[in-house]
Structures are given as structure tokens and as C-alpha cells.
């Protein structure tokens, strides 16, 4: 109750909860593709490489007074670039895929750390991007989240059947004249956009939790990808809301609290579902 | 017969790097043929299927295929935990007809429904694909191929790892389908080849054509003994 009153009284907290809910929409939908297409590692690499773009923009802003170089733009550009590079390697040089994933992962992180080390002043923003600080969300960020939600959802509504086909059986999709390479790269790009949205909420290090855990729980509950997406959106929204509320009461970092809640819920669901399966086999 | 062949291989060679797995292959399959493709493991049966499907390109020679293709792969490479219902799976056979806005038409849904009825899985349409038995899953994949309304149906070991009862059921369905379309099936099941097909292609260091009667004569005392599968020039 106290949290709800604080929500009403404090616009920062209200923006934080709204940002969490907006990010949950894309997270549940795109996270479901990440889980069923088994591109969790690729998504992890995209997420970590984003620090390079963020670091560059923070450096441009602070060291060179280029005010329009917002870290979020840097995150978006680096995320999409990394997605396209990894996707291209996956499609054309599959035997080196894991090495490239690791290279993009560490190069992004390393360049981000170096740019930030060269930036004058105390870098609270680095911590905020790494472990998240949902309470820093501004009204402009909310508009951007709405726009990104709209872009991602429009693509999904129009292309879901095609994405479903390439996630389940690439060979068959190809035989039916679907450009598997194009849709694979597009899917990775949408994953990159979603990761950038989620970084606002939980930060780079914890982003994979929100992207994969709600979808993985959803996968245990349903027999259709569309229903798995709905379940994942609801769970993700639940985790971000209860996580923000818990962090408010306990004065914990919001991103870590959200990730902890999601992780604990996943472990409990695994135990419950495995137990119920064992009972039904007996 | 003046009709154009359904499949024709002209001096087709295929291989990886410097190694040829198939060399100067020639054969013809006529529309309406029910063809069994047999041969030892690693002889190139699946390669031939992939050349017909256009998934592989020959290094030399020419592959000609007439009409729309339907392909039934082995179930093994598909993720059993994937959340897809049987109905969604079968509808995905209409993917080439899907409009830009991504919604199947009523006609597409009706065609998918008929395909499920043909292979007798209409009652399973809301089930998750991964929960089906091997025989049911194979029939669902067959329904997906039929939903594309193919002229040429290609199957890669459709009855591998399936119990005899389900296997007989699938062969019965295929026999019915072979009355309306060309069917090419890779199989290790010689009994089916002998009883159901009209023509047999034996893949081993080349492709040799047999009639089902010849297979009976040649293979009754053992599988793929090199001297036994050489067709005598007579």
C-alpha cells in the first residue's frame, strides 16, 4: 500500500514502473524467440557489446561536449551492429561462431571500459548501465520505449508466422521460398533493440535474466509460441513490478532485485514442474 | 508417353571439396511414379533428395524437376520442446501463400484441415507437436508437406524408428497419395519397397534402377552386397 502511495506521489517511481511494464512487452515477445531459437548466447554477446557504444557516447558527451550523443543512441547502434556481425558469421562461417560471439562480447565490453576510463568526472552512469537503475528513467526515455515497443510489435504482428517457421525448421522455411537469412538477421536486430530497452530497467549484466527467464517459464506452461509470449509478457511485468516494489521497501538496487526475483521464480517453477511430471509418470 | 518427366538427372556429379560422392548420375522419374530410394548408409540417398529439392547444387550436370515439391524430413532434427501445435505446424506448409500482413486465409486453413484429415490426425490438431508419438509426428510432417499441394512428394525415411503398426498405417496413406502425385521415398524397409513402389533406385557408387520384382530377386538373401546390386547387362 505504501508503495502504491509512493507511486502516486513520486513521478520518478511512477516512470520507473511504467518503464518496466513497457520493456516487459518486448521482453516477453522477443525473449520467447530467443529461447525457442536457442540464441541465448548470441543475445548475451549483443547485450555486453553494447557497453562499447554507451562508453563512446558518454566520452563524446563529456570529453568533447557533443550533447546529442546520448548513450542510448550508442547502445542502439552498437547493439544492431553486433547483431548483424554475429548473424552474418552464423550464416556464412558457422564453424567459428562461438569464437566470434566471444570476441564481439569482450571487444564491446573492453572498448566501453576504455572510453569510460578516458571520460572526465565520476562515472555513475557506467554502474547504472551495468547493473541498471530504473529510477533514472526520464519522460523522454518513456517516449523512446513506447516507440521501440511499437516498432518491435509491428514487425512481430506482421512476421510472426515467418519467424515461427525459421525458428522451428529453417530447412522447410527455405523450401517454401522464405529468405531465412534475411529473417534471421531481422530477428537478431529486434533482439538487439529489445536488449537496449531492457538495459534501461536491469542493466547489461542482468539483461539476460529478463529476456530469457519469463520466456523459459512460459515455455513450460503452453503448447503454442503465441501463448508462450503472452505468458512471458505477464511474468516479465510481474517481476519488474514486484521487483521495483521490493527494492523500494528494502532499499536494494532495483535491477538486481528484479533479476533475483525472476531467477528464484524460475528455480521454483522448475522444481514444481519436474515434481508434477514425476508424479504423473508414477 | 509424351509427358515431361517429374525428375530428371543428366550426368549429375556432386561432392564436397575434392571428393565426389556421386558421379555422372542419370535417371528419370515419370509423373505418377512411386519410387523407393534404397542403399547402404552414407551412399548418397539423402544427397540425391537434397539435389532434387534444390537444397544442394550439383557440381556438374543438370537436375530437372517438374511441379511443386513437398518434403517430409526425418523428425529427429526437430526440437521436441518447441511450442508449436499440430495445426500451426500443418498451416506452416502454406507459408509460400502467406500474404505480407501475415494472416492465413480461410482457404489456407481449409487446405490444412483437409491435409490433417488425409493423414488422420485431425483430432490431434491442438496438441503440441513434441508430445506426439513418433508415428503421429511423422504423419503431422506429412500433412505439412501435403498442405503445400505438391505434385512431387519427397520423404526421408518416413518410417524409421516407428512401430510396425504405425509404419503400416503410413505406408497405406502413401499408397493412397501415390495415385494422385509422384512420390519419392528414401527407405531401408525393403518389404515396403517390394510391395508398394513402382520403381526402385539403388544408390551405391552410382544409381541403379530396378523394378520392385528385381529387388526381391536381388536382395532376398542379404542387403546391399556389392556384387548382388550390380544389374546385369541383358
**Is B74 among the domain residues?**
no
- How large a percentage of chain B has pLDDT more than 70? 91
Determine contact, residues B152/B180, Cβ cutoff 8 Å: no
Q: What pLDDT score does A168 carry?
A: 95
**Is B55 among the domain residues?**
yes
> How many Å is the Cα radius of gyration of chain B?
18
Over residues A68-75, mean pLDDT: 88
Average pLDDT, chain A: 89
Over residues B118-122, mean pLDDT: 95
**B60 and B122, same structural domain?**
no
Q: Are residues A165 and B92, on separate chains, in Cβ contact within 8 Å?
A: yes
**B108 and B45, same structural domain?**
no
Mutate to test the interface with B, among A37, A172, A226 (most CBs of B within 10 A): A172
Chain A residues with CB under 8 Å of a chain B CB are 36, 38, 157-162, 164-165, 167-169, 171-178, 219, 222-225, 227-228
| Cα A121 to Cα A129: distance, rounded to the nearest angstrom | 16
Q: What pLDDT score does B227 carry?
A: 42
| Residue B234 confidence (pLDDT) above 60 | no
**Is B116 among the domain residues?**
yes
**B156 and B42, same structural domain?**
yes
**B95 and B16, same structural domain?**
no
Q: What pLDDT score does B34 carry?
A: 94
**Is B72 among the domain residues?**
no
Non-local (6+) Cβ contacts of B138 within 8 A are: B72, B75, B158, B159, B162, B166, B170
CA A248 and chain centroid, separation? 22
Q: What pLDDT score does B7 carry?
A: 94
**pTM confidence score:** 0.89
**Is B103 among the domain residues?**
yes
**B163 and B84, same structural domain?**
no
Residue B21 sits in a domain whose CATH number is 3.40.50.300
**Span of A53-57, A196-200, A276-280, B43-47 with lowest mean pLDDT:** A276-280
**B9 and B33, same structural domain?**
yes
Average pLDDT, chain B: 87
When pLDDT is cut at 50, 70 and 90, the band that residue A96 belongs to is confident
When pLDDT is cut at 50, 70 and 90, the band that residue A53 belongs to is very high
Short-list B37, B38, B34, B39, CA closest to B6: B34
Determine contact, residues B12/B51, Cβ cutoff 8 Å: yes
Give A204-256 pLDDT, tens digit per residue: 888 898 999 999 999 988 889 999 999 999 999 999 999 989 998 998 888 88
**B84 and B59, same structural domain?**
no
Give B15-55 pLDDT, tens digit per residue: 877 777 888 899 999 999 999 998 888 888 889 999 999 99
Domain boundary among B112, B133, B148: B148
| Residue A6 confidence (pLDDT) above 50 | yes
Domain boundary among B148, B176, B205: B148
**Is B73 among the domain residues?**
no
**B161 and B55, same structural domain?**
yes
**B210 and B114, same structural domain?**
no
Q: What pLDDT score does B224 carry?
A: 52
Question: ∠ CA(B155), CA(B161), CA(B167), 5° rounding?
Answer: 65
**B117 and B210, same structural domain?**
no
Q: Which domain holds residue B193?
A: 1-67+151-234
When pLDDT is cut at 50, 70 and 90, the band that residue B228 belongs to is very low
Secondary structure of residue B15 in the 3-state scheme? strand
Over residues B151-175, mean pLDDT: 90
Q: What pLDDT score does A278 carry?
A: 67
**B31 and B17, same structural domain?**
yes
**Is B156 among the domain residues?**
yes
Short-list A216, A260, A169, CA closest to A43: A216
Counted domains in chain B: 2
Q: Are residues B92 and A168, on separate chains, in Cβ contact within 8 Å?
A: yes
**B222 and B159, same structural domain?**
yes
**Is B32 among the domain residues?**
yes
Domain boundary among B99, B128, B148: B148
Which residues of chain B does A176 touch, with a Cβ-Cβ cutoff of 8 Å?
93, 95-96, 148
Domains in chain A, CATH or no CATH each: 2-281 (1.10.3470.10)
Mutate to test the interface with B, among A32, A153, A159, A168 (most CBs of B within 10 A): A168
Amino acid at each position: 500500500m505504501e508503495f502504491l502511495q509512493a507511486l502516486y506521489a513520486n513521478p520518478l517511481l511512477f516512470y520507473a514502473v511504467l518503464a518496466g511494464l513497457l520493456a516487459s512487452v518486448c521482453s516477453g515477445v522477443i525473449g520467447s524467440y530467443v529461447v525457442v531459437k536457442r540464441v541465448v548466447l548470441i543475445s548475451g554477446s549483443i547485450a555486453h557489446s553494447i557497453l562499447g557504444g554507451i562508453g563512446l557516447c558518454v566520452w563524446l558527451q563529456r570529453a568533447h561536449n557533443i550533447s546529442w550523443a546520448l548513450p542510448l543512441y550508442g547502445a542502439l547502434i552498437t547493439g544492431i551492429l553486433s547483431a548483424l556481425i554475429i548473424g552474418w558469421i552464423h550464416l556464412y562461417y558457422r564453424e567459428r561462431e562461438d569464437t566470434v560471439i566471444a570476441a564481439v562480447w569482450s571487444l564491446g565490453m573492453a572498448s566501453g571500459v576504455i572510453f569510460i576510463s578516458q571520460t572526465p568526472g565520476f562515472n555513475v552512469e557506467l554502474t547504472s548501465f551495468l547493473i541498471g537503475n530504473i529510477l533514472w528513467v526520464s519522460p523522454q526515455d518513456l517516449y523512446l520505449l513506447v516507440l521501440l515497443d511499437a516498432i518491435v510489435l509491428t514487425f512481430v504482428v506482421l512476421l510472426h508466422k515467418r519467424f515461427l517457421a525459421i525458428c522451428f525448421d529453417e530447412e522447410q522455411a527455405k523450401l517454401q521460398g522464405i529468405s531465412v537469412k534475411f529473417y534471421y538477421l531481422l530477428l537478431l536486430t529486434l533482439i538487439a533493440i529489445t536488449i537496449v530497452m531492457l538495459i534501461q530497467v536491469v542493466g547489461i549484466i542482468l539483461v539476460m535474466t529478463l529476456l530469457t527467464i519469463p520466456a523459459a517459464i512460459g515455455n513450460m506452461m503452453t503448447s503454442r509460441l503465441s501463448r508462450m509470449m503472452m505468458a512471458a509478457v505477464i511474468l516479465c511485468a510481474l517481476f519488474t513490478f514486484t521487483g521495483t516494489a521490493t527494492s523500494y521497501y528494502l532499499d536494494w538496487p532495483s535491477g538486481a532485485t528484479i533479476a533475483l526475483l525472476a531467477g528464484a521464480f524460475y528455480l521454483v517453477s522448475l522444481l514444481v514442474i519436474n515434481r508434477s511430471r514425476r508424479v504423473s509418470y508414477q | 508417353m509424351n509427358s515431361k518427366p517429374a525428375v530428371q538427372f543428366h550426368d549429375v556429379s556432386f561432392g564436397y571439396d575434392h571428393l565426389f560422392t556421386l558421379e555422372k548420375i542419370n535417371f528419370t522419374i515419370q509423373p505418377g511414379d512411386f519410387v523407393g530410394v534404397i542403399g547402404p548408409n552414407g551412399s548418397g540417398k539423402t544427397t540425391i533428395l537434397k539435389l532434387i529439392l534444390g537444397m544442394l547444387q550439383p557440381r556438374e550436370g543438370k537436375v530437372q524437376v517438374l511441379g511443386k515439391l513437398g518434403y517430409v524430413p526425418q523428425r529427429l532434427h526437430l526440437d521436441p520442446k518447441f511450442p508449436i501445435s499440430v495445426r500451426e505446424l500443418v498451416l506452416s506448409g502454406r507459408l509460400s501463400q502467406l500474404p505480407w500482413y501475415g494472416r492465413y486465409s480461410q482457404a489456407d486453413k481449409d487446405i490444412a484441415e483437409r491435409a490433417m484429415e488425409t493423414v488422420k490426425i485431425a483430432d490431434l490438431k491442438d496438441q503440441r507437436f513434441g508430445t506426439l508419438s513418433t508415428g503421429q509426428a511423422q504423419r503431422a510432417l506429412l500433412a505439412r508437406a501435403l498442405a503445400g499441394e505438391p505434385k512431387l512428394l519427397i520423404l526421408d525415411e518416413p518410417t524409421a524408428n516407428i512401430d510396425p503398426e504405425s509404419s503400416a498405417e503410413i505406408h497405406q496413406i502413401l499408397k493412397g497419395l501415390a495415385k494422385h502425385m509422384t512420390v519419392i521415398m528414401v527407405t531401408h524397409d525393403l518389404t515396403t519397397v517390394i510391395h508398394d513402389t513402382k520403381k526402385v533406385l539403388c544408390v551405391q557408387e552410382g544409381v541403379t534402377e530396378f523394378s520392385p520384382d528385381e529387388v526381391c530377386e536381388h536382395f532376398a538373401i542379404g542387403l546391399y552386397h556389392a556384387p548382388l546390386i550390380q544389374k546385369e547387362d541383358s
